[in-house]
Amino acid sequence: MPTDRWLQDWFNSPYYHQLYFRRDDKEADMFVSRMVSHLHPSPGARMLDIACGRGRHARSLAAMGFDVTGIDISAANIEEALLSGHDHLHFFVHDMRLPFLINYFQYAFNFFTSFGYFRTEREHYNSIRTIAQSLRTGGYFVMDYLNVHYAEDHLVHEQDIEIEGVNFYIKKWLDETHFYKKIVIEDEKLSEPLEFMEKVAKFSLGDFNDMFSFHNLQIQEVFGDYEFGHYDVRKSPRLVMLARKI
């Protein structure tokens, strides 16, 4: 499948993880624990973590006794994740736009806005198709996305962030269909600054409902934060959707 070059380069970069994943494993464990408590999966349930990164959430789920598979487009991420793999924790380099295991999983997850980066509507629909096909009938999918309306109202246009001696200069803007982010990285280890551009689609709850229903996924519940609070279209920072395959 074609992909924008920035998608591969940025997700493979160690600076991506340095900027976005400063949260410790305890925070990831808390979110996963709340989710498991809400879903009540059976012991040993098969779970798929789509765009798993280096496997933080997959490790948490596997530690709870589930059989977990993580997929990610970044070979560097999967190489790191495989260091913690075992008989009930599996990782594969895989593009979510392409079919994976069919009718295999009871649960599937997509965390921290790991979606919306592709160029066309069809590519996004193909990704949802992959997720839906991977689930058994009656299986559940949790999608965690930014709340477009909240993000529009709270957009910070410029940020300068220093992390362990590395400087990240960030500029953000938007148009009718996407959020954009330009990231310039200065590190004394680099001969010259690095520059990356992010582009994420402004998908609303209605957009996801259309994509999901087209592939036999029916939204059951919607939450507005990682504490599974009520979703408010203007006040909630997140859009966390629980869908069931029918």
Residue 164 structural domain:
151-198
Q: How many CB atoms lie within 10 A of CB 169?
A: 15
Give yes or no: residues 189 and 237 share one domain: no
Provide the pLDDT for residue 6. 60
Q: How many domains does the chain have?
A: 2
Angle among Cα 189, 53, 62 to the nearest 5 degrees reads: 135
Provide the pLDDT for residue 2. 42
Contacts 24+ apart (CB under 8 A), 184-188: 185/15, 187/15
Residue-wise pLDDT for 8-56, tens only, equals 677 778 888 788 776 555 766 788 899 999 999 999 999 999 999 889 8
Give yes or no: residues 172 and 140 share one domain: no
Provide the pLDDT for residue 8. 64
Provide the pLDDT for residue 30. 84
Give yes or no: residues 67 and 177 share one domain: no
Give yes or no: residues 51 and 128 share one domain: yes
Provide the pLDDT for residue 7. 63
Model pTM? 0.90
213 backbone dihedrals φ, ψ, rounded to 5°:
-65, -30
Provide the pLDDT for residue 76. 87
Give yes or no: residues 194 and 232 share one domain: no
The CATH number of residue 94's host domain is 3.40.50.150
Q: Is the dihedral of CA 85, 113, 6, 209 positive or negative?
A: positive
Give yes or no: residues 53 and 15 share one domain: yes
Give yes or no: residues 45 and 137 share one domain: yes
Mean pLDDT for back-to-back runs of 10 residues, the chain (246 residues): 58 79 67 92 97 92 96 92 96 96 97 91 96 98 97 96 93 97 94 92 97 98 94 96 98
